[in-house]
Amino acid sequence: MEHTATYLGLIPLMPLIGAVVIGLMHMFTCTGRKIPEMVYSVLAVAGPVVSTLLALKTFFHLRAMPEEGRFLTQKVFTWFKVGELDVAMGFLADPLSVLMIVFVTFIGTLIHFYSIGYMAGDENYGKFFAYLNLFLGAMLILVLGDGPVVMFVGWEGVGLCSYLLISFYATDRDNVLAGNKAFIVNRIGDLGFVLGMSLLFWAIGSGGFDYLALRGNAADLAPGMGLAICLLLFVGATGKSAQIPLYVWLPDAMAGPTPVSALIHAATMVTAGVYMVARFSFLYAHAPLAGTVVAWVGILTALLAAVFGMFQKDIKKVLAYSTVSQLGYMFAGVGVAAYSAGIFHVFTHAFFKALLFLGAGSVICALHHQQDIWKMGGLKAKMPTTYWTMLIGCLALAGCPLLAGFFSKDEILYMALANGHTGVWLVGVIVAAMTAYYTFRMFFLVFHGAPRDQEAFSHAQESPKVMTIPLIILAVGAVFAGYLNLPAIFGGDQQVTHWLASSLVERHPHGSVGMEIFAIGASILAFGVGIYVAYKKFWLGAEEPEYTGFAKFAYNLFYVDQFYHAVLVRPYKAIGSTIQAVLEPYVTDGHVKISTILYQLLGRTFKVFQVGYVRIYALYMVIGLSLMSLFLSQTLN
């Protein structure tokens, strides 16, 4: 059976070409006559649209293949060969990566269209789309890569694009600092990833360093080594996917334009960590302790972020913490060895989180870049499309039964319970209640009640079609995406789980039907409680409270940023200044200076002989002659 495909490489290549072309066009015209935005728009969406079509083609191609050996590969070129390490730039399309690229390209394309409206009039229009295309290309390389090294190329690429896009409004220093923070914190995680990758190569890499070969050789791995590798790789995931302790960059990343927050920090880049754990399921399946660590870190992050989200007043920060929280759920899913459930939550979350962010962007745009929810209110009347789509998104996020979020989140919680992680399940249910609460707190404050800022309210109007149509499309996805993995108890046949089965190493526990109904009931109860409390407090409109005590502590994010700054950043900077003040002048520069001083000394010594009197130079010649004749007269005898 033929496993090579020739078009896989085009999927990441199209957006990359677009990025280069748009980038060059912007670079050469940014100071002179500008190219009309329409040109940039067409070029910008061309790449993602082609990638989406190719992704769908790959999907159908794979579906036509039998379940055994359901994968396509393409080796574009050999990158480097060093000793036993033979890395090629190759792509692997198996069920897991195809699922990812389908929704990544689809949502990516929708957000490109949305950005045409959102970024209209910005003077760096071309630069934005260059970066956005570059991001899409890097993300596709990450997902389609056929080995850890190629994945790492994409991993770094999306980190770079995240930095570039967060600092997009670079005239404001805070934005640039936020970009720096994102990149640096990511880098810390990347160190763990590289260490894990190196250990992996050292242990079982000699038989080939791509996923198929590694999966085949995974049995040769010693348990301790496997545990170490899994934990180190997870460190990389905490950086990229904003888990404890490296989540601090994600809320600051909201300084970027809203489409960026939607695409990168909600739907795609931050899910790279979850994808990575699922991709290495053959390692995690043999190291259950690592899985437990992942699950607990995930669910505790979910709890922490939910607490923060309950008290935030910036609409994007609420959504950011909600993203961190949902990512925690995903990691809880893959941590308890329910890889398909975790990936399925990635899939559904992409839809409703992107929807929520784009809707928030619509609101922000309408109110002329007002982001404080305590200054909004009553927008239901003014922005109906945004209202209804956001409602769907909020319900999906909160886990409303029959919408997408319910099925995926519930699957994770049920799997946690069925695999024996009761603690994870309990915390998960509590967080579900909190999720519902803070989601609808935001919703009621923004769209219901009396407007708090009358002036901004009067200018507000519905966003243009190019922005609302993606909202509608995503809302449809948020409603119906859940049905793709309908569990048996509801009469479905878990299509996604079966689709992913050949990519993952997964056990499917059979809990009793009673356990499943209990879990579902608990989830619905959490949802109801959360909404009810939010309704009681915020339905009729409320004023901004003065936070005290625990609320104040939570509003200030438990002062974690300040703690990191005091304990990590300042000593590091102090070390840097010490090195600059002490080490460099004397040690590193000192050695170089010694040689220059020696040269100068040598020169000054010889300068003594250059008296400037020609007579003395003649004397030197005679002295030389004399010495030579002394020597020669010895030989003459």
How far apart, in whole angstroms, are the C-alpha atoms of residue 503 and residue 491? 25
Tally of residues, the chain: 637
Q: Which stretch binds another protein (CB under 8 A): 32-40, 471-479, 525-533, 607-615?
A: 607-615
Backbone angles phi, psi at 504, to 5 degrees: -115, 160
| Token digits of residue 625 | 């002659």
Q: How far is CA 552 from the centre of its chain?
A: 29
Nearer to another protein, 572 or 617 (CB): 617
Q: How far is the CB of 599 from another protein (least distance, A)?
A: 16
Nearer to another protein, 42 or 623 (CB): 623
- Residue 600 in contact with another protein, rule: CB under 8 A: no
Q: How far is the CB of 633 from another protein (least distance, A)?
A: 5
- Residue 614 in contact with another protein, rule: CB under 8 A: yes
Residue 268 DSSP label: S
Nearer to another protein, 583 or 621 (CB): 621
Nearer to another protein, 517 or 628 (CB): 628
Closest by Cα among 300, 341, 302, 336 to 322: 302
β-strands 72-82, 85-93 pairing:
antiparallel
Backbone angles phi, psi at 337, to 5 degrees: 70, 20
Label residue 595 exposed, middle or buried (CB < 10 Å: 0-12, 13-18, 19+): exposed
Helix, coil or strand: residue 5: coil
- Residue 514 in contact with another protein, rule: CB under 8 A: no
Nearer to another protein, 575 or 627 (CB): 627
- Residue 622 in contact with another protein, rule: CB under 8 A: yes
Q: Which of 548, 595, 596, 610 binds another protein (CB under 8 A)?
A: 610
Residue 613 DSSP label: -
Nearer to another protein, 517 or 616 (CB): 616
Using CB under 8 A, which residues numbered 462 to 481 contact another protein? none
- Residue 64 in contact with another protein, rule: CB under 8 A: no
Cis preceding linkage at 384, omega within 30: no
Q: How far is the CB of 597 from another protein (least distance, A)?
A: 19
Closest by Cα among 267, 424, 415 to 350: 267
Q: Which stretch binds another protein (CB under 8 A): 25-33, 158-166, 178-186, 627-635?
A: 627-635
Q: How far is the CB of 604 from another protein (least distance, A)?
A: 10
How far apart, in whole angstroms, are the C-alpha atoms of residue 112 and residue 118? 10
- Residue 82 in contact with another protein, rule: CB under 8 A: no
Q: How far is the CB of 596 from another protein (least distance, A)?
A: 19
- Residue 605 in contact with another protein, rule: CB under 8 A: no
Q: How many CA atoms lie within 13 A of 198 on its CB side?
A: 7
- Residue 601 in contact with another protein, rule: CB under 8 A: no
How far apart, in whole angstroms, are the C-alpha atoms of residue 309 and residue 323? 10
Backbone angles phi, psi at 78, to 5 degrees: -80, 125
Q: Which of 191, 489, 583, 625 binds another protein (CB under 8 A)?
A: 625
CA distances to 52, 138, 238, 252 from 506, in Å: 29, 28, 22, 36
Q: How far is the CB of 600 from another protein (least distance, A)?
A: 14
Count, residues near another protein per rule CB under 8 A: 20
Nearer to another protein, 507 or 615 (CB): 615
- CB contact at 8 A, 423 and 459: no
Return residues touching another protein (CB under 8 A): 607, 610-615, 618-619, 622-623, 625-627, 629-630, 632-633, 636-637
